[in-house]
Structure 1
Amino acid sequence: MLHHRPLAGRGFARPRTAHDLTFPHASPLSPSSVSRAVAGVFAICAASLTLASGSVYAQQASQTSDPQPAANASQGTAALPATTVSAGRDDDIKVERVSSGALGTRRAVDTPFSVVAVNSEQIKNQMAQTATDAFKYDPAVTTLSENKRNENSYFAVRGMRVDMLDGTKVDGQNFVSWQADIPLEPFEQVELLKGLSGFMYGFGAPGGIVNYVLKRPTDEPLRQFSVGYEASNVWSEKLDLGGRFGPDNRFGYRLNVVNEEGNTAEPNNHVRRKTISLATDWRITPDLTWTADVAYWKRQTTGTLFGMNFSGAGAVPDANKVARNLAQPFTYYETDSLTAGTSLDYRINDQWKANFKYRFARLNRLNGDSFLSVLNAAGDYADTQYKWKTAYYYQAWDAMMQGKFTTGPLKHDVVFGVAYQSQVKLNDNGDGGNGISLGTSNIYNPSLLPNQDVGLNYQPYRSEKISQRAIYASDTIGITSRISLLAGLRYTQFNDDLYDITGQTGASYRAKPVSPTVALMYKTDNDSTAYVSYVESLEPGGSASITNVNFPQTFGPLTSKQYEVGWKADKQTWGANLALFRVERGYGYTNQANYYVQDGTQRFQGLDASGWVRLARDWRVMGGVLLLNTKAVDVDDLSVAGKRIFAAPRYVVTGRVEYDTPFVRGLTLAAGVKVTGQQEVDAANTLSIPAYTAIDLSAKYATRIAGKSVVLRAAINNLTDKHYWTTTYNGFVLPGSTRTFLASATMDF
């Protein structure tokens, strides 16, 4: 594994002086830097293989994919019903049977919900680094933040932000991702359930569920090494090992290790990232399997922004005119995460199976980034740095039974179980949480501000505990060979306790909701389904952010309802998903007095359509469109009533074309485009950000060298170096990512 030069100074970044600080406006991507990077990556690959084999020869080969995980290594792993679209062969596109949380295991096309998934092969082909990257070509997904100059990368689904406390799962169980990126290397697949998930997973925002499915032991030996490059000078090394051993190969393992460090294409931005994960299983008997896993990752960045606010300017300026180097080089942001889980899966007979699983998760955050408040139309801003520590601890267990039986002419597919999960948050009452003024500058001509790195008093304390106890059951009733009815209920005991710095209980919230789901499905043929569904859900109430007057006030739970009519197909050479939806959700927003409040209802309704098709032998086309209408209703604040919901685009259009070249066997070329419509920045719609278009190019070449599989990949994201804004919540605006070149080489050994 390559070693990187360590960084000096506080934490891991050496604060720069005015003499060694530069503020470039031009893109760091140049032909010479690209050619040097490509040559460097490929030279390392060739040298590694030469040393390993002593001789090198080339064989033309078709595209290859990783060995598949053991078929029964994790039968109880909770994965959402999914339709996977992947570059390469058509059999990489199809997912025959998946597990879907409280709905059990079934074919993806037989589910009455909108779900998409990307597997590890597609993730690598798109050179995706986060879930936001992985789902960028789904029209329902809107980027809210990107993880270079900003704290982390996250997104909204159909205009609703994915909840970073309840909206992220690892193998179907809660995992905290609050302002923290989850690396993709430890995971075989990432799945996105669009919309409400109250029945399947309990409390959660209607933005949907992102489920990360861990890589599991492979039946065949896997030995894979990758080296990667990202402009302007980020290098990464990755190792993926898997296989089985012991009597009758009963024991299996999967190990992933990642090391990454360097300067990104963003000004003053440095990243250091490390990841390690291990998944094991033991096939105790042919019908009984035990699994265990542990994963740890840490990410550190410098030159980061917490957010920007343009209310003082009266408008969001043209992104093309604003300097890119707004973050001070001494600002920083750090996260480290740990998760460990275990499960026991028992197949009772051909009709019944049982599963028990447990997961622990922990996240530590260290903030040292800036918030910029733009004061006037001239672009002057006040820079405030926030330094504080927070932590989150999660525990969850779930016991589930799934089976099939008949009553007369009716066929039943039933699932029932019990579940528990808890969340504990540690906040910080130290000095840095109140903000440290760094001074003023200008967004068009920023300057280096003095580093106010004074001794701070960190005071972590338990600020909140949320617990959920649930019982759930569902029955999918086959009425005829084509018509089926799904009905499910989830009863939850929800407790939310807030604590002050002395440990005394402040506000407490109690709820005992029953979350129903009901759906009617009609099989137009074996590979397509029309459906109508209704879902209810509750989510924890919102909290005032650090920039609100009433920080850190937290509110009670919000109720949501979802209606959806759709049709989906999963054919041999094409697939499609079409949904008309309406979501009614309690509204939380920042009013004009800068107080965070909960008042009225958000209404989201629209069309979500996507699909893929193989054209001839060598071409694949995929894409879609989101048409979204939003409105604030039953709101007392007249400045908000009837307005569009902030951070929700009017439309999104995506497209991606992949071409398997006949003139170079194993070479696939691809181009993608995403058009995101105008978005409002605040609840009163006084500020907005314009529509923007991002274009990407990529290439993949699969061959064999010294008898071993080698895959070379390269990509340019934001090809035209488009300057654009993204918006999140509470009036925050963030700059989009600059043009970035990436390259990698993956070798079996």
Structure 2
Amino acid sequence: MSFSLKLLPLALACATSVHADDTGATTDPRKATVLEGIRVNATAVDAYRTDNASAGALGNRALLDTPFSIDAVTEELIKNRQANNINDVFKGDASTTPFSNGYSGENSAFSVRGLQIDELNGYRINGMSVPAWAADIPVEHFQQIELLKGLSGFMYGFSQPGGMLNFVTKKPTEQPTATFRLGYTSRSSITEEADLGGRFGKDHQFGYRLDAVNEQGGTYVDNGYIKRKSVSLGLDWRINDQLTWHFDSLYQDRHIRGAMYGVIPCQDFGVCQPNGPQFVSIPSPLKGSQRISSTDTGYGTSMRMATTGVTWNISPDWTLSADAAMTLQGRSNRDSAIFLLDNQGQYLEHQYLGYTDYLYRSAQAMLNGHFETGSLKHDVVIGAAWQKNMQRYGDNIFDEADLGIGNIHNPSDFPQSPIALIRHVRDSSSETQGAVFASDTVTFSEQWQALLGLRAIDYTQSGYNYFGDGKRNALYERKPVTPTVALMYKPAAWMTVYASYVKSLEEGTSVPAGQGYANEGEVFAPMTSKQYELGAKFAQDSWNLNAAVFRIERGLAYSVVRDNQRFMTQDGQVRFDGFELSGQTRLGSQWTLLGSAMWLDATNERADPTVEGKRAFGSARFQASSYIEYAVPTMPGWVLTAGGRYVGNRPLESNNSNIAGAYHTFDVGTRVTTRVGQYPVTFRLNLDNITNEKYWLVGWESIMNQGAPRVLRASVEVALQ
């Protein structure tokens, strides 16, 4: 890669940006464009930018008034980039690093600031906890997807410090709408979607939003196949001017064939090396379309989620909300780990089999209000929350099978294990969190604000005798108090400078089975994390800019070799020091730019000599991304797009034995909005990774996955209104 190509994403990132109008009309807010009878007044900022997001225990807040880094992606941007997984949704945020994808790997997932998002505690739908263990949540059903970067202890409770994802479901529309989309993804996957919304009844007091998606066909992996269907339903009832009831549900079944658990270089121990221990280095990246695991390997996931609640506007200054939710996620495993045995590409394909499900139940009540004490203004939140997360295993969850030995440069296709999956489940582990929380944002003057928040948690983690009588055989209890403190200064109404401190706890490390650890199944005590952040936010009509300097300190889990055996241990800490910059701007009346960059120094501290002072696994020192849109002035409704992403090299292990190389990808696209007869129609065409870059994604320690190859996406969307 030439020096100029390396700098292109950075150059674009440093030019902050605004998002382009979905219709392709002029982005000058002083003008309106008539497109064959369609009057377009919304600017690019209106279509892509959001000024508010959920902040958990702080409630819904203006982004400018939150002393944390939050990225929110709107439905329009998701549509126009034709994103169909969470990696695509946040590909424009350089603070995120993809480490798996849902076509060649177990699911689409990314880390934030070098830290992975907790797949059991780091995902929310409308603020309520849902499991996302090795599963993809269908992004088509949401009007906004929000990412809180870093620690979320006060806002949400126990979770890993990578961040918190909140998916905001589509809401009932005020006017009847019906939108239909037909999409194609290389190599032969077809997607159909129907999105219906409206209101009915006296004074339109009842609202509905129904969105159904079906995807089926070949994936970009050789002989890969996907079959996916999902439906979301949102209802509300405006009981009176003050009281509203709502209900939201999501159903999904997703099955993937030709996917794998990951590629694992065996080193420093003889567990999976028949000829004794030797060092196995990372091979050259493979094409993203190359199948490695056998054709019939793969997995299936299902999700059934329902939430309901009420919002009571007690007065202009006080609002009470109460919500309850239940989610059941099931997962059927027939995916394979590819253990590299030597540096010539020889591998053992080892298949994991079994069924797992996760049952989540939660409830939360919050009171938001405003009052004054003398010259001080107070924005307060008082609340209580409860959730119980149960993990249950099928009777043969730990069954495994060696399918055969091949070479990754010419993969074999082995017959599948004849072992049948047993879906009868037994309790394996559970965690229960009860919490009360309160915060007060005190306004001293037009310039100065301070935030103090506290969450008191009653946390219980239980293990059950899975192979025996099913009774509880392990118990861990803790009652921590996690604080948040912040100071905000506003030199002007459109600018905020802040300093914040957050403390959080997360579940202890669970040593995975089937990866050669001598202490597999061991669960360590919860870890404490701390975050210090200094940032600035600027928001104008035509541009915005966010900058943050941060330090995150987290407990360290890593693998060590003792007496020729591999152990997972938890001690010491890992420190993440970084600087992130993102922005949006409008250039003239046609150009729109988004840019983002992150510099990161992640170091292991106070740990075993084999990892002391080494870089944290999976962390890149530098990342940058950019996205450009150009509205063709001579052809209203026609928009051209381009984007780029650069990710620096990343250690594969905590001891830095292997370093996965840096990579860059470039995307292009176009869309046209016009009329066919009396109906507005939008045609979209996107080509991602146009150079077909080959690269490795670094996931869990010592586990790699292929990066996505060149992918073509095309769709046509018709609005019947």
User: Which of 700, 703, 713 is equivalent to 1:732?
Assistant: 703
| Cα distance between partner residues in 2 of 1:396 and 1:478 | 33
2:718 is aligned to 747
Deviation at 1:322, TM superposition (A): 9.6
1:586 is aligned to 555
| Partner-residue secondary structure (3-state), 1:232 | coil
Q: Report the residue type matching 1:641 in the other structure.
A: E
| Partner-residue secondary structure (3-state), 1:595 | strand
2:248 is aligned to 293
1:70 is aligned to none
* Higher relative contact order, chain-length normalized (CA < 8 Å, sep 6+): 2
2:120 is aligned to 165
Deviations 1:313-357 (A, max 9, x none): 521011158982212111121000010000100001111110000
| Cα distance between partner residues in 1 of 2:239 and 2:423 | 48
| Cα distance between partner residues in 1 of 2:629 and 2:421 | 53
| Cα distance between partner residues in 2 of 1:333 and 1:589 | 27
Deviations 1:264-298 (A, max 9, x none): 12112100000011100000001100001211001
Contact 1:61–1:665 (CA under 8 A) maintained in structure 2 = no
Instruction: State how 1:264-663 maps to structure 2 within 5 Å.
Output: 264-312=219-267, 314-320=280-286, 324-430=290-396, 433-455=398-420, 460-501=425-466, 502=468, 503-546=470-513, 547=515, 548-592=517-561, 593-635=565-607, 637-663=608-634
1:253 is aligned to 208
Does residue 101 of structure 2 align to residue 124 of structure 1?
A: no
Contact 2:293–2:349 (CA under 8 A) maintained in structure 1 = no
| Cα distance between partner residues in 2 of 1:489 and 1:673 | 41
| Partner-residue secondary structure (3-state), 1:236 | strand
Structure 2 vs 1, CA of residues 494 and 454 (structure 1 numbering), >3 Å: closer, same or farther? closer
Structure 2 vs 1, CA of residues 643 and 349 (structure 1 numbering), >3 Å: closer, same or farther? same
Deviations 1:489-523 (A, max 9, x none): 00000000011222132221111010000000001
Does residue 63 of structure 2 align to residue 108 of structure 1?
A: yes
| Cα distance between partner residues in 1 of 2:420 and 2:45 | 58
Per the normalisation by structure 2, the TM-score is: 0.91
Does residue 138 of structure 2 align to residue 210 of structure 1?
A: no
Structure 2 vs 1, CA of residues 289 and 446 (structure 1 numbering), >3 Å: closer, same or farther? same
| Cα distance between partner residues in 1 of 2:255 and 2:51 | 39
2:665 is aligned to 694
| Partner-residue secondary structure (3-state), 1:185 | helix
Deviation at 1:305, TM superposition (A): 0.6
Instruction: State how 1:77-88 maps to structure 2 within 5 Å.
Output: none
Query: After alignment, is 643-652 or 583-592 more displaced?
Result: 583-592
Structure 2 vs 1, CA of residues 660 and 61 (structure 1 numbering), >3 Å: closer, same or farther? farther
Contact 1:322–1:444 (CA under 8 A) maintained in structure 2 = no
Per the normalisation by structure 1, the TM-score is: 0.87
Deviation at 1:164, TM superposition (A): 0.3
| Partner-residue secondary structure (3-state), 1:493 | strand
| Cα distance between partner residues in 1 of 2:328 and 2:227 | 20
| Cα distance between partner residues in 1 of 2:380 and 2:560 | 46
Structure 2 vs 1, CA of residues 473 and 726 (structure 1 numbering), >3 Å: closer, same or farther? same
| Partner-residue secondary structure (3-state), 1:123 | helix
Deviations 1:144-187 (A, max 9, x none): 10111111000000000010000000001101000000001211
| Partner-residue secondary structure (3-state), 1:92 | helix
Does residue 36 of structure 2 align to residue 59 of structure 1?
A: yes
Structure 2 vs 1, CA of residues 471 and 455 (structure 1 numbering), >3 Å: closer, same or farther? closer
Does residue 635 of structure 2 align to residue 664 of structure 1?
A: yes
| Partner-residue secondary structure (3-state), 1:645 | coil
Deviation at 1:415, TM superposition (A): 0.5
Deviations 1:592-651 (A, max 9, x none): 34322211101001101111110001001111111000111111x110111110011111
| Partner-residue secondary structure (3-state), 1:348 | strand
1:35 is aligned to none
| Cα distance between partner residues in 1 of 2:323 and 2:415 | 51
Contact 2:354–2:422 (CA under 8 A) maintained in structure 1 = no
| Partner-residue secondary structure (3-state), 1:319 | coil
| Partner-residue secondary structure (3-state), 2:462 | strand
| Cα distance between partner residues in 1 of 2:328 and 2:430 | 14
Structure 2 vs 1, CA of residues 130 and 457 (structure 1 numbering), >3 Å: closer, same or farther? closer
| Cα distance between partner residues in 2 of 1:321 and 1:237 | 28
Count of residues in correspondence between the two structures: 668
1:719 is aligned to 690
Deviation at 1:60, TM superposition (A): 6.8
Structure 2 vs 1, CA of residues 281 and 457 (structure 1 numbering), >3 Å: closer, same or farther? closer
Contact 1:63–1:666 (CA under 8 A) maintained in structure 2 = no
Structure 2 vs 1, CA of residues 322 and 167 (structure 1 numbering), >3 Å: closer, same or farther? closer
| Partner-residue secondary structure (3-state), 2:118 | coil
Contact 1:231–1:741 (CA under 8 A) maintained in structure 2 = yes
Q: Report the residue type matching 1:619 in the other structure.
A: W
1:29 is aligned to none
Deviation at 1:390, TM superposition (A): 0.4
Q: Report the residue type matching 1:553 in the other structure.
A: E
Does residue 71 of structure 2 align to residue 151 of structure 1?
A: no
Contact 1:94–1:570 (CA under 8 A) maintained in structure 2 = no
Contact 2:53–2:146 (CA under 8 A) maintained in structure 1 = no
Identity of aligned residues (%): 37
Does residue 138 of structure 2 align to residue 183 of structure 1?
A: yes
Q: Report the residue type matching 1:269 in the other structure.
A: G
| Cα distance between partner residues in 2 of 1:62 and 1:470 | 50
| Partner-residue secondary structure (3-state), 1:148 | coil
Deviation at 1:458, TM superposition (A): 6.0
2:148 is aligned to 193
| Partner-residue secondary structure (3-state), 2:523 | coil
1:708 is aligned to 679
Deviations 1:177-224 (A, max 9, x none): 000000012111100000100001011111000000011101011111
Deviation at 1:101, TM superposition (A): 2.1
| Cα distance between partner residues in 2 of 1:396 and 1:130 | 26
| Cα distance between partner residues in 1 of 2:443 and 2:289 | 60
- Which structure 2 segments of 5+ residues have no match? 1-34, 268-278
Contact 2:288–2:706 (CA under 8 A) maintained in structure 1 = no
| Partner-residue secondary structure (3-state), 2:692 | coil
Deviation at 1:587, TM superposition (A): 1.0
Structure 2 vs 1, CA of residues 307 and 321 (structure 1 numbering), >3 Å: closer, same or farther? closer
| Cα distance between partner residues in 2 of 1:730 and 1:552 | 16
| Cα distance between partner residues in 1 of 2:40 and 2:190 | 25
| Cα distance between partner residues in 2 of 1:476 and 1:353 | 16
| Cα distance between partner residues in 2 of 1:305 and 1:94 | 37
Deviations 1:559-612 (A, max 9, x none): 000000000111111111100000000111222343222111010011011111
| Cα distance between partner residues in 2 of 1:63 and 1:384 | 56
1:50 is aligned to none
Deviation at 1:528, TM superposition (A): 1.2
Q: Report the residue type matching 1:330 in the other structure.
A: D
| Cα distance between partner residues in 2 of 1:362 and 1:555 | 26
Structure 2 vs 1, CA of residues 702 and 323 (structure 1 numbering), >3 Å: closer, same or farther? closer
Contact 1:59–1:705 (CA under 8 A) maintained in structure 2 = no
Query: After alignment, is 150-159 or 584-593 more displaced?
Result: 584-593
